[in-house]
Chains A and B, each alone.
Chain A
């Protein structure tokens, strides 16, 4: 893990409130892996005070890319940064996804959850070229069609992409986890399946329940407020079968079966 002064190369709106950011991060490329994150200091003037974590969306040559949604003060300030400015970035941090050698990889993204799954898909696609029988199914869920991100990129990477929206404005009407339950009967006959998910907690909780029921190995990426991001403050713990674990250090990616979900 490194702390670098990174030159901002690109920071533009993708659609709606979503932005894509590209920053020079030569030293971080080798350790970057799908599911790991970077912790960005948004402002030298301490507004906001703490760093903001973003999962690594992609790496290209010496650059890392993240996508983010402007939701609060931190991301609002970040969205106004111009190419040529410098950002203080720490990373890569945390534990990412372990790539399993399976026939069917099912990726489930809720909203911004697409961000690390593009990086994961690129890694999975490298294996796919070695064995054409391998398939990647991507389920993307969002509130409306305006919040669907990266669908074309997944298709370009050779994935079978299915979409759900809460309001039915695009694809299946309902939750992405309902879409998962709908498609599972068609692929469950293939024993070698794996689920990779990233999205809001209620979605991940349901993914965990379904994957446990069907005995499919599932890895989920959790989000939590981070203070230090490097494992020191113990502020971001999640309850697991082995006690509290740090989302920033042992996570953000966990095996779904190890999480003990609060009733919510």
Chain B
């Protein structure tokens, strides 16, 4: 008879939040979870990050909003969402029934002060496990700078939101910068609990017959396996500069790509575009991580984080 297999510890801490396992689903790729309940037991997820909520309802960008590119896809949804109050009244109660932590992604349109208003309101709601600041959506303002493209703006925003809530705060950062570590350091020093790396890369795709962009807003955000090497490098760079946890994402599509992010320095990972291809992929990744740890005789996922061997 075979001996009982070692049960590796999968739980991780992100700020005050304790997750039963380190696999979450990325904002914007899982709706408000209801679309996925037919495919997997959603309770298995470490956490669910909601589609981004804004203070007022937002209709989003004109279609076409998506297209496929080599090993990836472009999207320019433009944060279509029903607004904070409808989210709290209609979406959140259903999400809370799942029984896994709900991380609410928030954003502001013109006035960054809306981040503070949103956080203050969400702070009072028990069913909100944490707040993710989406300061990196590439599909809103095409000419002005994103908050996460400026260390000072990132610092000021995080500082202001920090005063508005005691809940775990996560900043989702943009890869569209010269040095992402500067931004991560600014967020950390302003009191953020964790950073999500990375949002989509600015990109475009052209139909040569019509000479038009395949996306109505011309430029869009690139996701999927195509961006994984970039995301991984950014996790590794940031890991060496900050002490707070990193949630790694960008092209995670199977167990081995998820594991790469832990080795590069991620404490947890988020599955994004892969949800569209296989709606139960998160379940498979959670099982696969457990198997990998057993096989490698590692008793806790935390020991894998940042375990990259640098001497070749």
Chain A positions near chain B (C-beta within 8 angstroms): 1-3, 41, 46-51, 88, 90, 224-239, 243-244
Contacts and interface: CB of A to CB of B under 8 A. Distances in A.
A48 B68 contact: yes
A229 B276 contact: yes
Contacts of A224: 63-64
Contact of A227 (B30, B35, B63, B66): B66
Closest CB pairs A-B (n = 8): A235-B66, A232-B31, A228-B276, A232-B35, A227-B66, A235-B65, A230-B35, A231-B35
A235 B77 contact: yes
Contacts of B275: 228, 232
Interface of B: 28-31, 35-36, 38-39, 51, 59-60, 62-68, 71-73, 75, 77, 80, 224-225, 253, 273, 275-280
Given A49-B224, A227-B75, A233 B28 contact: yes
Contacts of A229: 276
16 contacts: A3-B278, A49-B71, A49-B224, A49-B225, A88-B278, A90-B279, A225-B67, A225-B68, A227-B66, A229-B276, A232-B29, A232-B35, A233-B75, A234-B31, A235-B77, A244-B80
B78 to A, nearest CB: 9
Contacts of A236: 63, 65-66
A261 B152 CA distance: 44
A20 to B, nearest CB: 25
Given A225-B64, A225-B67, A228-B35, A234 B276 contact: no
A252 to B, nearest CB: 14
A213 B36 CA distance: 41
A233 B77 contact: yes
A229 B276 CA distance: 7
Nearest to A232: B31
Contact of B29 (A1, A225, A233): A233
A226 B73 CA distance: 11
A238 B59 CA distance: 12
Contacts of B64: 224-225
A236 B51 CA distance: 16
Given A49-B73, A231-B35, A244-B60, A41 B65 contact: no
A51 B31 CA distance: 18
Given A49-B68, A51-B276, 12 more contacts: A2-B38, A41-B277, A46-B277, A47-B71, A227-B66, A228-B29, A233-B75, A233-B276, A234-B31, A235-B66, A236-B65, A244-B59
A238 B63 CA distance: 7
B279 A3 contact: yes
Nearest to B276: A228
A230 B36 contact: yes
Contacts of B59: 243-244
Contacts of A51: 276-277
B223 to A, nearest CB: 10
Contacts of A235: 65-66, 75, 77
A50 B72 CA distance: 9
